[in-house]
Amino acid sequence: KWDITGIPCKHAYGVILKLKLDVEDYVCHWFRTLMWRRNYTDGLIPIRGSRFWPATDSPDVHAPPEPEVPEEEAASKEAGKESAKKKLTKADKTRKKGVNESPTKKQPKAKKRIMHCGICGAPNHNSRFHKDDSSQICVSVSF
- Tens digits of residue pLDDT in 68-98: 877 776 667 666 666 556 677 777 778 788 8
The answer to whether 120 touches 139, Cβ cutoff 8 Å, is yes
Q: CA separation (Å) from 143 to 59, 121, 124, 140?
A: 95, 12, 19, 10
DSSP annotation string for 101-129: S-SS--PPPPPPPPPB-TTT--BT--GGG
129 neighbors 121 (Cβ within 8 angstroms): no
Cα(19)–Cα(8) distance, integer angstroms: 14
Domain residue extents for the chain: 2-39
Res 18: pLDDT: 93
The pLDDT value recorded for residue 67 is 82
Sign of CA dihedral 90, 92, 93, 99: positive
Phi (first) and psi of residue 123, to 5 degrees:
-80, 170
Positions of the chain with pLDDT lower than 70, given as ranges: 1-4, 73-75, 77-86, 133-143
